[in-house]
């Protein structure tokens, strides 16, 4: 593969937003857009949009703008949305069940294929046709099915061991919802969703207004 200079995560985290806006334009039947028009919709600078996109090559055309469908599909490729991922959920509590019921990940190539828990009351239950299995069966399942991503919605006391095991079984990514930081070999990619951090940040913003 061609050697490219390291793209910053700040740029990467903006791509899904571009992708979403382009998807909406696509649905509306819009077929071209300029960086300025998009910048106004998204409330960012046109310069940033052009800089971000040019990290990956030239997707536009001078004097014209960007073809919506093409740009949309190119961003999908950059993010890896042109591929399929096999996912399992570990921990089928409230949040695990909610995520299991989410159909919308499927259409982006994220396929839920397994559910695991320790709770005998949950084991055997099915969500969207997927049976909850005992966590003892997880090693075999992950290895046999070549699972790419594990969604971790287990209590924080359990997550470290589970994550380390999954890493040793060759998982590629962990989507971690526990309020814990995982330190694992660099082959395993980690994306944290710290809901409590997000809520605390909201509390700060609410009070910040008082100081103005």
Partner DNA sequence: TAGATTGTTAATCGATTAACAATC
Q: How far is the CB of 51 from DNA (least distance, A)?
A: 4
Q: How far is the CB of 195 from DNA (least distance, A)?
A: 22
Rounded distance, CA 155 to CA 150, Å? 15
Provide the minimum distance between the beta carbon of 62 and its own copies in the complex, in angstroms, as a whole number.
Answer: 28
Among 73, 160, 179, 184, binds its own copies (CB under 8 A): 179
Per-residue buried b or exposed e for 14-47, using 16+ beta carbons within 10 Å of the residue's own CB: ebeebbebbeebeeeeeebbbbebbbeebebeee
Least distance from DNA to the Cβ atom of residue 50, Å: 4
Choose among DNA, its own copies, none what residue 118 binds, the Cβ cut-off being 5 to 8 Å by kind.
Answer: none
- Where do contacts with DNA occur on this chain (CB under 7 A)? 8, 10-11, 33-36, 44-48, 50-51, 53-54, 58-66
Nearer to its own copies, 136 or 191 (CB): 191
CB atoms within 10 A of CB 72: 20
Binding range to its own copies, per CB under 8 A, among 46-54, 61-69, 94-102, 161-169? 94-102
Other CB atoms within 10 Å distance of the CB of residue 149? 21
Helix or strand run (H / E) with residue 99:
helix 94-101
Contact 148, 85 (CB under 8 A): yes
Q: What is the 3-state secondary structure (H, E, C) of 168-190?
A: HCCCCEEEECCCCCCCCCCCCEE
Local structure of residue 118 (DSSP, 8 states): S
State the residues that interact with its own copies by CB under 8 A: 1, 3-4, 9, 12-13, 15-17, 19-20, 42-43, 78-81, 83, 85, 93-95, 97-99, 101-102, 104-105, 108, 110, 148-149, 172-173, 175, 179, 181, 183, 187, 189-191, 193-211
């Amino acid at each position: 593969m061609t050697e490219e200079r390291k793209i910053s995560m700040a740029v990467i985290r903006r791509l899904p937003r571009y992708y979403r806006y382009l998807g909406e334009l696509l649905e509306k039947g819009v077929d071209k857009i300029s960086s300025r028009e998009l910048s106004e919709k998204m409330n960012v600078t046109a310069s940033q949009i052009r800089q971000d996109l040019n990290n990956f090559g030239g997707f536009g055309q001078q004097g014209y703008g960007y073809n919506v469908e093409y740009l949309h599909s190119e961003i999908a490729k950059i993010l890896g949305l042109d591929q399929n991922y096999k996912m399992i959920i570990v921990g089928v509590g409230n949040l695990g069940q909610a995520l299991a019921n989410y159909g919308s990940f499927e259409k982006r190539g994220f396929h839920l294929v397994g559910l695991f828990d320790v709770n005998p009351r949950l084991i055997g239950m099915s969500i969207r046709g997927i049976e909850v299995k005992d966590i003892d069966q997880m090693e075999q399942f992950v290895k046999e099915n070549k699972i790419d991503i594990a969604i971790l919605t287990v209590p924080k006391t359990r997550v470290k061991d589970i994550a380390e095991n999954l890493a040793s079984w060759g998982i590629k990514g962990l989507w971690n919802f526990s309020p814990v930081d995982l330190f694992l070999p660099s082959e395993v990619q980690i994306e944290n969703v710290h809901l409590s951090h997000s809520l605390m940040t909201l509390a700060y913003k609410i009070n910040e207004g008082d100081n103005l």
